[in-house]
Structure 1
């Protein structure tokens, strides 16, 4: 692995909401977003799940 700062993303899943977060390898918070699981997500809006935005913000 090259020297540098890595980016790590994770999703905490729950029944009603999912929480996505992105930090770097030295602990800096880069992004956090929460998404309802009960709201339908039409495929026509985007080919990616709604939490993709939080993970690409890093």
Structure 2
């Protein structure tokens, strides 16, 4: 059973840009992003979902 990502690629790019590491993602991909920054992305995605009533 394959697991698909919940966040769209566009949303991930937008959040990365807002958190200040969008250029790193564009140049090196998400593999170059620290665990801490990935955690911050998840937190922001949850906040966005809650604001939009998607919780």
**TM-score with structure 2 length normalisation?**
0.28
Greater RCO, 1 or 2 (C-alpha within 8 Å, sep 6+): 1
Which has more radius of gyration?
1
Between structures 1 and 2, the one with greater helix share:
2
Between structures 1 and 2, the one with greater strand share:
1
**TM-score with structure 1 length normalisation?**
0.28
